[in-house]
Amino acid sequence: MRRIEGRAQHYAWGSPTAIPGLLGREATGEPYAEHWLGAHESAPSLVDGAPFDAVLATEGSSILGTATAERFGGRLPYLMKLLAADRPLSIQAHPDREQAEAGFARENAAGVPVDAPERTYRDAWPKPEVIIAITPFVGLCGFRDPVHTVFLLEQLGVAEELGSLIAPLTQRKGSAALAQVFLDVLSIDGDRLRLVDLVVDAASDHTEDDAELGDLARALVHLGDAYPGDRGILAAMLLNVVTLQPGEGMFLGPGNMHAYLHGVAVEVMANSDNVLRGGLTGKHIDVDELMRVVKFKAEEPSLLPVDAVGPRTYHYATSAPEFTVWRVDPGEAPVHVPGCGARIGLVLDGDAHFTASGETLDLQRGESVLLEARDCATVSGTGLLYLSGPGI
Q: Averaged in consecutive runs of 10 residues, what is the pLDDT profile of the chain (392 residues)?
A: 97 97 95 97 95 96 95 97 97 97 97 94 95 98 96 97 94 87 94 96 97 97 97 97 98 96 98 94 92 94 94 95 97 95 96 95 97 96 97 94
Do 6 and 112 reside in the same domain of the chain? yes
29, 124: one domain? yes
| Residue 97 designated active-site | no
pLDDT at 392: 92
**Looking at the structure, do residues 38 and 99 belong to the same domain, yes or no?**
yes
CATH number at residue 45: 2.60.120.10
Same domain, 224 and 254: no
In the prediction, which pLDDT does 172 show? 73
155 contacts 212 by C-beta, under 8 angstroms = no
Cβ(46)–Cβ(4) below 8 Å: yes
Domain that holds residue 171: 145-238
Q: Burial, 62: exposed, middle or buried (Cβ in 10 Å; 0-12, 13-18, 19+)? A: middle
Examine the domain organization and report whether 332 and 375 are in the same domain: yes
Q: In this predicted structure, what is the pLDDT of residue 174?
A: 76
Looking at the structure, tell me whether residues 215 and 269 fall in a common domain: no
| Residue of 314, 315, 324 lying closest to 391 (CA atoms) | 324
* pLDDT at 173 (0 to 100): 74
251 shares a domain with 124: yes
Residues 177 and 96 in one domain: no
Active-site residue, from 277, 327, 343, 365: 277
List the alpha helices (DSSP H) in the chain. Answer: 18-23, 52-64, 66-71, 97-109, 146-156, 159-162, 168-171, 174-186, 194-203, 211-226, 232-236, 287-293
Q: Let me know whether 152 and 207 are in one domain.
A: yes
Structural domain count of the chain: 3
| Residue 164, amino acid | S
Give pLDDT, residue 329: 97
Residues 150 and 100 in one domain: no
Residues in the chain, how many?
A: 392
What pLDDT, on a 0 to 100 scale, did the predictor assign at position 3? 97
Q: Tell me the one-letter amino acid at 296.
A: F
Residues 218 and 257 in one domain: no
Q: Residue 131 domain-assigned? A: yes
Environment class of 58 (CB within 10 Å of its CB; exposed 0-12, middle 13-18, buried 19+): exposed
Asked if the structure places residue 30 within a domain, the reply is yes
